[in-house]
Amino acid sequence: MMQVLIVIHLLVVIALVGVVLLQRSEGGALGTGGGGGFMTGRGQANALSRATAILGGLFFASALIMSIIAGWSRAPRSVFDENGPKSGTEKPADTNLLDQLKGGQPTAPLAPAPSPAK
């Protein structure tokens, strides 16, 4: 089901990009402006504006439907269960930040270097 929705979503995206690129440029120095084309005048503006609005609505609808369907299979979970201490009596180990990021074992703090004997 999700694969079919993804294919439909991609087709809507490609069509939306195409329709937006077909529209006439109205802005300063972004392009050369209009020129002769297969659609000119007011008919072009109405048809392309309507197609853009419809494809935009389809895009948002398909994105919402896919996110709702993806959320159905998730089990509820708590942030406190994942990140909290495993038991109330354990004391956190002395670790430095680099070891925690690497996922390594905690290391003992470095001892001061012995002073040279004179």
Q: Is residue 55 part of a domain?
A: yes
Q: What is the pLDDT of residue 35?
A: 55
CA–CA gap between residue 38 and residue 88 (Å, rounded): 74
Q: Is residue 64 part of a domain?
A: yes
Q: What is the pLDDT of residue 107?
A: 57
- State which residues form the domain around 21: 2-25+41-72
Q: Is residue 117 part of a domain?
A: no
Q: Is residue 87 part of a domain?
A: no
Q: What is the pLDDT of residue 37?
A: 55
CA–CA gap between residue 115 and residue 111 (Å, rounded): 12
Provide the residue-wise pLDDT of the chain in tens; the chain has 118 residues. 889 999 999 999 999 999 999 887 766 545 555 555 555 555 667 888 899 999 999 999 999 999 999 888 777 777 777 665 565 555 555 667 777 777 755 555 666 667 777 6
Total structural domains within the chain = 1
Q: Is residue 66 part of a domain?
A: yes
Q: Is residue 56 part of a domain?
A: yes
What residue type is assigned to position 28 of the chain? Answer: G
Q: Is residue 84 part of a domain?
A: no
